[in-house]
Amino acid sequence: MSFDVTFTHGMFPDKYVVAYKSNDIDWKIPLFTYENTTAYLKSIVESNESPDKLYANFYFIHDISNKPGNILSSCYVNIEQNGEHSYTNNVNVKKHVLTSEFGTIKNVTSMRSFGPGDQMAIYLDKSMVEKTKGNFTITFDGLNLISYIPSSMHALDENKKAQIRNMVYDQVMTRQGSKDKLTGVEEVFAAVGRNGQKIFDADTKKYIDISGRYVYYVVFHTEADGLLGPITVIVDPVTEKIIGYLPRE
């Protein structure tokens, strides 16, 4: 997922602290909120490597409750079958910035580092900051939406995945006689509906909002994926019945 962050003149100090002296600085300036996560600007300091570069430091705070939800993170979770899991940072920042006065300025930002925790830092070209008087927009690419549920809710183990997949295949692909040619690539997973996410109920011919709702997704990839996208069926984990479909293109 991509998000824009707009800097303004007031975010930049009159005098910069060098990075190695800045451990106790935390401005905690809120930048944006998405789902249950707020992104903050921690600080802007002078680079350890060169006075011509600045570090802009960011972190995420997640407001997790005892209900299903989503968080936005700079990390994604690697889960090995019956094994360990790990967290990998894969977010990046576009090298160009957008300004109202100068248009696009190229090659003035780059990733600097990640961590500890859900933190990241980027380089900013100091001359660009001075030229724009601190008024510009950067874009982060690759932020990850991660669903979470209380441990007491309906788990989706391999046996349950097979059961749900077979039920959906029988009802959708066999009984309804789908003409799509399947590639054999399939996915069954549990997730929480994003804010504003709607699915189509074929029975009522209406759209249903599943924002914040914990559901099962069953995905069948077809030879028409490039044109229409895959067939994605949504299942209620309590009733284990189909409740709708993600719209295709």
Per-residue pLDDT tens over the stretch 219-232: 999 998 988 899 99
pLDDT, position 244: 94
Quick: pLDDT tens for 123-148: 999 999 999 999 999 999 999 988 88
Distance CA 182, CA 142 (A): 28
Q: What is the pTM of this model?
A: 0.72
pLDDT at residue 82 in the model: 52
User: 161-190 pLDDT, tens per residue?
Assistant: 999 999 999 988 776 566 778 899 999 998
**Rounded average pLDDT over 143-159:** 81
Where does the chain show beta strands of DSSP type E? Answer: 3-7, 29-34, 37-46, 53-62, 69-73, 75-79, 85-89, 92-93, 97-99, 103-105, 109-114, 119-125, 136-141, 144-148, 182-192, 198-201, 206-209, 214-222, 231-235, 242-245
Segment 37-53, tens digit of pLDDT: 999 999 999 999 999 99
Confidence of residue 25 (pLDDT cuts 50, 70, 90): very high
Percentages helix, strand, coil for the chain, rounded to the nearest 5?
Answer: 15, 45, 40
Q: Residue 174 gets which letter from DSSP?
A: I
What pLDDT is attached to residue 161? Answer: 93
What does the DSSP 8-state code read for residue 18? B
Residue of higher predicted confidence among 239 and 150: 239
- In this prediction, residues 7-33 reach a mean pLDDT of 95
Tell me: pLDDT of 81 over 70. no
